[in-house]
A and B are shown apart, each in its own frame.
Chain A
Amino acid sequence: MNVRLLAFGRADVRSVRPRRLWMPLLRPSRILLPLVLPGLVLVVWQIVTVRGLLPVQILPPPAMVFSTLVDLIRDGEIVANLKISLWRITCGFVIGSSLGLVFGTIIGVSRTADDYLGPLFRALAQIPSLGWVPILILIFGLDDVLKYLIIAKACFVPTTLATSQGIRNIPRQYMEVASVLRLGRWSVLTKLLVPAALPTVFGGLRLALSHAWIALIVVEMLAATEGVGYMMVWGRTLFQMDIVIAGMIVIGIIGLAMDIGLTRLEKRLQRWAPSHG
């Protein structure tokens, strides 16, 4: 790091501004290098499919995947499926993480509550979402309740863990100041607990959303009749790999978008939040 900064500094002294603007073009490796591998893969993919080395049912040509993707977007099929998926994830996330915030605060603030409920919670948290799917299918069938419950559970666990940890990590001194100042319960909650625990809690919410996304795909693949996950399973049954690959692309892009969005939000929060957690 230091070395690179030094080098840039020296370049600054010697050259005038325009040269700096051209820097990226002078060093094309920065932009081009990451594109070499995907390019190579595309070329091999194209050759393999055009020469007919692999049947279309196994590997459709890149152009076909692209046109399928465009078609699915244009005729609204992806949009309709995405709407359903995103609605499920929103509901599940809101339910699961708000319950997690409440429960996490309770076991974070009260030792007694943690003694009673903590062990049971931590034991149940060992069961991955995947394990809850067959149990809940037996109870609720393939109903929509199942999907909301799985996603809510996927959000509840990380949010609870982060919230209780965030509260427990608040320095003792803060609480002592609060009791010296004779702050009321409400002021302690709004002026001390919430701001101090916020960075940790936010980390938990980010984790919750990514778990929710995974749980959504899993549950849609296992037990749904619509949604992005189902679309892929359906494409697989029809041996239309173009639909499957298009689904993977969509899933990747949305996963990336959610991650970038939340990282940005987290950075913005960190600007004013205290950094002790």
Chain B
Amino acid sequence: MADIASNASLPRRGRDRHALWRGLAVPAGLIVLWTIAARLPGNHSQLLVPLDTVLAAPFVDDSGREIWLGLAQSVARLAAGFSIGAIAGVAFGLFTGMSQSADRAIGPSVHALRQITLFAWIPLLSAWFGNGESAKIVFIVLSAFFPTALNTHEGLRAIPVQYLELANVMNFSRRQRVLRLLLPGALPSIFVGIQVALISGWIGTVGAEYMLGVGRGLGIFIAEARGQFRMDLVLVGVLMLALVGFAINTVCRRVFRHLLRWQGGTS
């Protein structure tokens, strides 16, 4: 749960227009300062590029245009890795959440693996799978697996005992138990897991590309721009990285709220 606290920077609603202008004041001031500093006649620094050059780079600049292809590749990678990881994670969470002995048998091992910082897998994965596509996909699978597994498991645990007892009294079959009680009951928590997994998968995608190189992708775009000392391209790449993360969070929040509206005010 704590993992999403950092994403929970929702803008508070219903604030007056005052707040909006105030919020724009400081960034606007900084942008003006940036522009003036970058346009000063003495400035030949490659690091201080005017903002308009940065923003125009993906459209005007020849190497800048590469970003769209890279972005498409990265999103495709994320989609592939995330779907495998999330399905495996939900399945694993259901399995360990439903059977206590399964939980006791594999739970501790998975928890031990989870303690290893994700990025620490990259050297091992690159030795096992090379620097190409498979190492990246495996890494994204890992980054999506742990959050979904954990949250599915917790979601099942949080289902009130009374519901389980009721299901027993009503002689639910195993199928009914899963489809009518366990999955719907754990759904809010599973959705949290999916959102966290998408974000960690996205960072994992760009991180793996950045570290492993080879092929196309947003991470590779940023790494190459850094290698060529192109600050404008690095900034555009990082901006894109943040924008996609922001879009993932926004879309998830909307979609999940819509999907969970049957729950009423419980969540």
A residues contacting B by CB (< 8 A) are 1-2, 29-30, 33-34, 36-38, 41, 57-58, 112, 115-120, 122-123, 125-128, 130-132, 134-135, 137-139, 157-158, 161-162, 203-204, 206-207, 211, 213-214, 217-218, 221-222, 229, 232-233, 235-236, 239, 241, 244-245, 247-248, 251-253, 255-256, 259
Contacts and interface: CB of A to CB of B under 8 A. Distances in A.
B2 A126 contact: no
A138 B23 contact: no
B223 interface: yes
Contacts of A241: 124, 127
A139 B47 contact: yes
- Looking at B2, B118, B121, the one whose CB has the most chain A CB atoms below 10 A away is B2
Interface stretch (B56-64, B84-92, B109-117, B147-155): B109-117
* 6 cross-chain pairs, A with B, having the tightest CB-CB distances, nearest first: A119-B23, A236-B123, A115-B22, A34-B108, A131-B238, A252-B115
A132 B119 CA distance: 16
Given A161-B8, A161-B9, A119 B24 contact: yes
B5 A162 contact: yes
Contact of B104 (A29, A161, A233, A253): A29
B242 interface: yes
Interface string B1-28: 0110110110100010011001111110
Contacts of A255: 115-117
B213 interface: no
Contacts of B118: 214
Interface string B135-178: 00000000000000000000000000100000000000000000
A214 B118 CA distance: 8
B104 A30 contact: yes
Given A134-B226, A162-B5, A232-B123, A221 B104 contact: no
Given A36-B105, A115-B22, A161-B9, A134 B234 contact: yes
B184 interface: no
Contacts of A253: 115
Contacts of B211: 221-222
A207 B5 contact: yes
Given A34-B104, A134-B223, A259-B115, 11 more contacts: A33-B104, A41-B109, A123-B27, A127-B242, A131-B222, A131-B241, A131-B242, A134-B226, A135-B231, A138-B226, A241-B124
A207 to B, nearest CB: 5
B107 interface: yes
A217 B127 CA distance: 18
A116 B109 contact: no
B250 to A, nearest CB: 11
23 contacts: A38-B109, A115-B19, A115-B23, A119-B11, A119-B23, A119-B27, A120-B23, A120-B26, A120-B27, A122-B9, A126-B242, A127-B238, A130-B210, A131-B238, A135-B235, A138-B47, A138-B231, A204-B5, A207-B2, A207-B3, A207-B5, A217-B120, A255-B115
Nearest to A158: B6
Given A128-B241, A135-B238, A115 B123 contact: no
B172 to A, nearest CB: 18
A13 B119 CA distance: 52
A249 to B, nearest CB: 8
B222 A251 contact: no
Contacts of B26: 116-117, 120
B207 interface: yes
Contacts of A259: 115
A125 B11 CA distance: 13
A241 to B, nearest CB: 6
B245 A128 contact: yes
A266 B212 CA distance: 38
A34 B105 contact: yes
B101 interface: yes
Given A128-B203, A138-B47, A233 B123 contact: yes
B106 interface: yes
A125 B122 CA distance: 25
Contacts of B115: 251-253, 255-256, 259
A161 B6 contact: yes
Given A126-B246, A128-B242, A229 B101 contact: no
B117 A213 contact: yes
Contact of B124 (A116, A214, A248): A248
B23 A252 contact: no
A221 B118 CA distance: 12
B229 A138 contact: yes
Contacts of A125: 6, 9
A213 B113 CA distance: 16
A26 B6 CA distance: 45
Nearest to A114: B19
A175 B112 CA distance: 45
